[in-house]
Structure 1
Amino acid sequence: MEDLWNYLKATDRPIALYGTGDGADKIMAKLEKDSTLDKVKGVFASSGFVRDRSFKGFKVESFESCLERLGKDMIVLMCFGSPRPEVLSNVDRIASQCEFYAPDVPVYGKNIFDRAFYEKHRSEITDVTARLEDDLSVKTMVNTVTNKLTGSIEPLKACETTPDEENSLIRLPDNATFVDLGAYNGDTILKYTDVCPTIERIYAVEPDKRNFRKLNENTSHIDNITYINALISDKSGTTHIDTSKGRGVHEAKDGGDIESTTVDDILNGAKVDFIKFDVEGNEHKAIEGAKESIKKYRPVMHIACYHRSEDIFDLPLEVLKIRDDYKIYMRHLPHVPGWDTAFIFV
């Protein structure tokens, strides 16, 4: 299977970028590294985002303007992500008129999931796939890998599931304790207390101060919540965050100071029944910091696996080093590119 980046090296057709910002920066950096940046001939945005502006020396156009100028021979690279139905509908409209890809560039980290990366980690991917519990999980893994290599969105669409189907995998006992890592504005607390009414105790961890305020406001009617404004990691203390532009608060080697904590330190030996991990690329460290709780209580876990290229094999293997008796499911909700993909450990 040829990867997208080698395909773009070989083509002489014009490339148009759909979207601006961090994703476009990363895609252009990869194209420049591959000596294919000169093939980019235009940048366009969705209706309402065109305005009178430029990006990297290109005037930001509408899709229609770009298509008229470059022709149907152009290759479109999507440079942002969205689960919104109106955006996905627009993606389908664009893809029906020209060749369309959603390149997989990691939200965090520098590893690009190209052919060389896949070959290097093929055995780990195979090992994880062999541990997956049902046919949909295997299909999701195979299609996720195909999407990451080729940039094609069709494999993602073919393995999509619904929130209700994913939620049906999460069954909790009475008086359950829920630890929400990356609680954002309270959306997942509201979701899971509705899906799992037996939740009695909640620990909500969110590092971003603005989100933390919204989290408190949006869940103030729910009893027995402990709010923790800290970054979840593998050790408690002070760590650093990247203060440059980006998608969220995430740990870095250098940068601004922030308080860090771990699941084990939060619980201090108390039971836990369900942990949700969505922590901006810090999932591996968060698992390490929950090692004793996982070992002792074997909680149900929902772990996002799309922030780093290695997440689809590294995260389940890390959990299995702690406990080897989990059933593992993999699910993808509608989203382009392949974000909103997670492992559910039960």
Structure 2
Amino acid sequence: MARSQTAEALTMPEGYRLERGLMWPIEDRACAAVVFDTVPDMDHALEHCRKFDLAVQAGGNMGVWALALAPKFGRVVTFEPDPRNFRALVHNTASAENILALPCALGADGGEWCGLELSAREANNVGAYQVTKGATAPIVALDSFNLPALDLLYLDIEGFEMPAILGAMETIQKFRPVIAIEDKGLSERYGYLKGSAEQALAPLGYEVVARPHRDVVMVAQR
């Protein structure tokens, strides 16, 4: 480890460590082991973007994806509802002036709050928090932001992708962004079968153009 990295590691807040130069929750092992390797998967979506004004990404995690998107887009808005993850996200993205990090969960309706939980088998994976009842973070609908543009919508929110899409339908219809979601069946917890997002977006002309690993990339063809 370089001297500067050693010094930074020694000044990490209690409960965090340095992971590849980023502030990271000390209890996590599973997320850090895989998240950096997923960054190239974003290329399957980026190659279909027509413009690069604004990207929305959720969940923000520790900022790995937002930092990868920042050099390519004029503005990146990232959402992360878990308070400990969000603290690391803000720290890690502080030097990127075009990243806006918000401590919220994207959903179908605003004005409500949610809790977050890990299953017993995901206890060492801070990237596996799932939305549940509670009062940890506000739920917001993307449509409520009246965004000036949207060129990429990238969602990895542990099964809550469909509510997030429902809360973004007006924005999606207006800007027709490239949409990438993780779809590994966790949506059934919220009453949506695997593939529900594809079915919901098909009437808007969206078709699947790639399936990197467990992600689905959709592009509006008409």
TM, length-normalised to structure 1: 0.46
Which amino acid is 1:236 matched to? G
Q: Do 1:243 and 1:255's aligned partners in 2 also have CA atoms closer than 8 Å?
A: no
Q: Indicate the residue corresponding to 1:315 in structure 2.
A: 197
Deviation for aligned residue 1:164:
4.3
Aligned CA distance change for structure 1 residues 263 and 219 (closer, same or farther; 3 Å): same
Rounded Cα–Cα distance in structure 2 between residues aligned with 1:165 and 1:312: 20
Deviation for aligned residue 1:218:
1.2
Q: Does 1:285 align with 2:159?
A: no
Q: Does 1:178 align with 2:55?
A: yes
Q: 2:131 aligns with which of 251, 261, 268?
A: 251
Q: 2:103 aligns with which of 212, 229, 234?
A: 229
Rounded Cα–Cα distance in structure 1 between residues aligned with 2:183 and 2:92: 26
Deviation for aligned residue 1:216:
1.1
Equivalenced residues, count: 176
238-247 or 228-237, larger mean C-alpha shift: 238-247
Runs of 5+ consecutive residues of structure 1 not aligned to the other structure: 1-80, 86-161, 334-340
Rounded Cα–Cα distance in structure 2 between residues aligned with 1:186 and 1:295: 27
Deviation for aligned residue 1:257:
4.7
Aligned CA distance change for structure 1 residues 170 and 308 (closer, same or farther; 3 Å): same
Rounded Cα–Cα distance in structure 2 between residues aligned with 1:330 and 1:284: 18
Rounded Cα–Cα distance in structure 1 between residues aligned with 2:94 and 2:31: 29
String of CA shifts for 1:134-193, please: whole Å, max 9, x gaps: xxxxxxxxxxxxxxxxxxxxxxxxxxxx96476144233455201111011101112233
Q: Secondary structure at the match of 1:255?
A: strand
Rounded Cα–Cα distance in structure 2 between residues aligned with 1:185 and 1:82: 10
String of CA shifts for 1:300-323, please: whole Å, max 9, x gaps: 1111101235553211111224x1
Q: Do 2:81 and 2:136's aligned partners in 1 also have CA atoms closer than 8 Å?
A: no
Q: Do 2:117 and 2:131's aligned partners in 1 also have CA atoms closer than 8 Å?
A: no
String of CA shifts for 1:62-87, please: whole Å, max 9, x gaps: xxxxxxxxxxxxxxxxxxx88959xx
Q: Do 2:58 and 2:79's aligned partners in 1 also have CA atoms closer than 8 Å?
A: yes
Q: Indicate the residue corresponding to 2:12 in structure 1.
A: none
Aligned CA distance change for structure 1 residues 242 and 213 (closer, same or farther; 3 Å): closer
Q: Does 1:209 align with 2:83?
A: yes
Rounded Cα–Cα distance in structure 2 between residues aligned with 1:290 and 1:236: 11
TM, length-normalised to structure 2: 0.69
More strand by share: 2
Q: Do 1:242 and 1:249's aligned partners in 2 also have CA atoms closer than 8 Å?
A: yes
Q: Do 1:207 and 1:249's aligned partners in 2 also have CA atoms closer than 8 Å?
A: no
Rounded Cα–Cα distance in structure 2 between residues aligned with 1:165 and 1:342: 8
Q: Percent identity?
A: 23
Q: Secondary structure at the match of 2:211?
A: strand
Q: Secondary structure at the match of 2:95?
A: coil
Q: Do 2:58 and 2:156's aligned partners in 1 also have CA atoms closer than 8 Å?
A: yes
String of CA shifts for 1:42-93, please: whole Å, max 9, x gaps: xxxxxxxxxxxxxxxxxxxxxxxxxxxxxxxxxxxxxxx88959xxxxxxxx
Which amino acid is 1:277 matched to? L
Q: Do 1:181 and 1:279's aligned partners in 2 also have CA atoms closer than 8 Å?
A: yes
> Which of the two has higher C-alpha Rg?
1
* CA RMSD, 1 decimal: 2.7
Rounded Cα–Cα distance in structure 1 between residues aligned with 2:197 and 2:40: 24
Q: Secondary structure at the match of 1:215?
A: helix
